[in-house]
């Protein structure tokens, strides 16, 4: 009986991770495709960006935990979801673009889903809670970094926005919940909500981490004050 119950729990966790992964893949693909459409890329470029933004973090995560080949290249659903998002953006970009900051919104939702899914999958593969939280953060920020690099932008995670910190906070909720024995779905929802809330608040309120102040910046600031 206990073996059957254990199998049911494991199956439920794997289903949850897969669901979060696919939904996060779709949303991150939307952010990548939208960024590509803004740069007036052709349909091939938009589809490439949608796949790269959606799957880079998951590929790195799977390679690090030994889940090879990575799900993004072994499961057709990841490719299908990524390309579907790219096609949606390519043909309906004028409609999507009417939303306020669609790239930032899609990116925030994808970040929230991926940091949680990454941490959950790392725990399933036997990593310690600390390493699972760090890997969840890496899963969340990987796609955005790859997208920005391909577009010759400085990755958002390096521009002092509350980005990686939000992903780490969401993944930490999952890791702590695992240690305390909280329900998996509860911790997943809580972690995703915390990450999304922090990221959206940082966008709207301008929250950022401290940056290094160079001497010329300090002198310029003093001149402006005078």
* pLDDT for the residue 18: 81
Task: Check residue 17 and give its pLDDT.
Answer: 77
- Mean pLDDT is lowest, of 29-33, 113-117, 149-153, 154-158, for 154-158
Q: Quick check: 176 pLDDT over 90?
A: yes
Least-confidence region, from 12-21, 43-52, 149-158:
12-21
This prediction's pTM: 0.82
DSSP letter string, the chain:
-HHHHHHHHHHHHHHHHHHHHHHHHHHHHHHHHHHHHHTT--HHHHHHHHHHHHHHHHHHHHHHHT--S-HHHH-HHHHHHHHHHHHHHHHHHHHHTTSSSHHHHHHHHHHHHHHHHHHHHHHHTT--HHHHHHHHHHHHHHHHHHHHHHTT---GGGTTBSSHHHHHHHHHHHHHHHHHT--HHHHHHHHHHHHHHHHHHHHHHT-B------HHHHHHHHHHH-
């Amino acid at each position: 009986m206990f073996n059957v119950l254990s199998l049911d729990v494991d199956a439920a966790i794997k289903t949850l991770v897969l669901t979060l992964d696919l939904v996060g893949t779709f949303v991150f693909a939307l952010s990548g495709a939208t960024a590509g459409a803004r740069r007036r890329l052709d349909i091939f470029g938009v589809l490439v960006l949608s796949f790269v933004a959606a799957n880079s973090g998951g590929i790195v995560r799977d390679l690090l935990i030994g889940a090879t080949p990575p799900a993004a290249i072994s499961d057709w659903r990841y490719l299908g979801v990524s390309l579907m998002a790219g096609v949606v953006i390519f043909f309906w970009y004028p409609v999507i673009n009417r939303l306020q900051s669609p790239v930032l919104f899609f990116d925030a939702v994808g970040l929230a889903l991926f940091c949680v899914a990454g941490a959950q999958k790392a725990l399933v593969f036997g990593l310690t809670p600390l390493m699972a939280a760090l890997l969840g953060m890496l899963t969340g920020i990987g796609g955005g970094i790859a997208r920005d690099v391909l577009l010759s932008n400085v990755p958002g995670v390096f521009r002092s926005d509350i980005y990686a910190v939000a992903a780490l906070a969401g993944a930490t909720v999952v890791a702590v919940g695992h240690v305390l024995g909280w329900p998996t779905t509860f911790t997943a929802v809580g972690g995703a909500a915390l990450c999304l809330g922090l990221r959206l608040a940082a966008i709207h309120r301008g929250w950022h981490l401290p940056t290094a102040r160079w001497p010329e910046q300090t002198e310029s600031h003093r001149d402006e004050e005078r």
